[in-house]
Amino acid sequence: KQEVTQIPAALSVPEGENLVLNCSFTDSAIYNLQWFRQDPGKGLTSLLLIQSSQREQTSGRLNASLDKSSGRSTLYIAASQPGDSATYLCAAGLAAGNKLTFGGGTRVLVKP
């Protein structure tokens, strides 16, 4: 059974600092690893999706890496801004029905 863990559960940084969010999963037989952002009272917004054959994906200030053998993914956010304050969730995608198993999330606060 796939289990996904995110550490830390919460993170507070001053504006401009780089953010590093960690995600680990127990079963390396994944199809993809997805990172989402959730704002209070809102749904999830897809940030990056790394296919199992890839090592990383980049979008603007965001970069996500994937190491299947060690069961880890890391989301880097460069030069953080107050608007980056949100909860970040990672999810491991399995083949059957594109089922996603989510971690508990990392709540990020970027102080101006």
Partner 1 sequence: DTAVSQTPKYLVTQMGNDKSIKCEQNLGHDTMYWYKQDSKKFLKIMFSYNNKELIINETVPNRFSPKSPDKAHLNLHINSLELGDSAVYFCASSPYRASYSNQPQHFGDGTRLSIL
Contacts to partner 1 by CB under 8 A = 31-32, 34, 36, 41-46, 49, 51-52, 87, 89, 91, 93, 96-102, 104-105
Which DSSP string corresponds to 49-108? EEETT-SEEEETTEEEEEETTTTEEEEEESS--GGG-EEEEEEEEPSGGG-EEE---EEE
C-alpha–C-alpha distance, residues 59 and 7, integer Å: 22
Report the nearest approach of partner 1 to the CB of residue 97 (Å). Answer: 4
Give least dist CB 66 to partner 1, A: 12
Q: Which is nearer to partner 1, 53 or 112 (CB)?
A: 53
CB closer to partner 1, 69 vs 98 = 98
Q: How far is the CB of 4 from partner 1 (least distance, A)?
A: 10
